[in-house]
Amino acid sequence: MRYIVGVMGPAKAKSKDVENARLLGELIARREWVVLTGGRDVGVMDAASRGAKQVPRSLTVGILPSARDRVSKYVDLVIITEMGNARNNVSVMSSHVVVACGLTGSGTVSEVALALKAGKPVVLVGASPAEAKFFKKLGRHLVAAVESPEEAINLIMKRIERSD
């Protein structure tokens, strides 16, 4: 069974969040983990998959809301849930850890909240102090806030080593 890292973030993302997502995708793929996203051809979803596909033999999975959505061309495996935004719960349930790049969208906030509800660890990359505080209060030890993709990867590696 492959280790899956979910990368979540807005469709209409800030350029900083898009760049973080691209680098995250690349770093995740270099460790031979699978990159899972919402699968569409926009924003953080598209960038994370694009970053991963720069790495040979990488694997990207997209959890699509419906068959009507446009799929990122960097997604290898398209899972069509046909369940609208409730697909956000499939995305987080299928991820061993969830990384959020940008909390400006309600879809991403719902994903972080659903991940915490399911007891999944969440790493916020580049969150504002108010956002970090809000989610740390909600999720306690499950939530970490970091500045860069490299820090996020380091955190995930430590977590995997601990659970070995």
Please classify residue 110 by burial: count the beta carbons closer than 10 Å to its beta carbon, then call 0-12 exposed, 13-18 middle and 19+ buried. Answer: middle
Min separation Cβ 68 and its own copies, Å: 10
List the structure tokens of 56. 């040979």
Q: Which one, 16 or 70, has the nearer CB to its own copies? A: 70
Helix and strand counts by DSSP (H, E) for the chain: 6, 7
Amino acid (one-letter) located at 79: I
* Residue 138 engages its own copies in binding (rule: CB under 8 A): yes
DSSP state of 105: S
What is the pattern of x (binds its own copies, CB under 8 A) and - over residues 34-73? x------------------------x-x-x--xx---x-x
Min separation Cβ 2 and its own copies, Å: 5
| Region binding its own copies by CB under 8 A among candidate stretches 19-27, 40-48, 111-119, 148-156 | 111-119
Q: Which one, 23 or 36, has the nearer CB to its own copies? A: 36
Q: Which one, 23 or 44, has the nearer CB to its own copies? A: 44
What is the pattern of x (binds its own copies, CB under 8 A) and - over residues 69-108? --x-x-xxxxxxxxxxxx-xxx--xx---------xxxx-
User: In the chain, which ranges are E strands?
Assistant: 4-8, 34-37, 60-64, 77-80, 97-101, 122-125, 143-146
Instruction: Give the contacts of 53 (CB within 8 A, at least 6 positions apart).
Output: 25, 29, 60, 74
List the structure tokens of 32. 């031979």
Query: Taking Cα atoms as reference points, which of 35, 24, 43 lies closest to residue 62?
Result: 35
Residues of the shown chain interacting with its own copies in the complex, contacts defined by CB under 8 A: 1-2, 4, 34, 59, 61, 63, 66-67, 71, 73, 75-86, 88-90, 93-94, 104-107, 109-110, 113-114, 116-118, 130-131, 133-134, 138-139
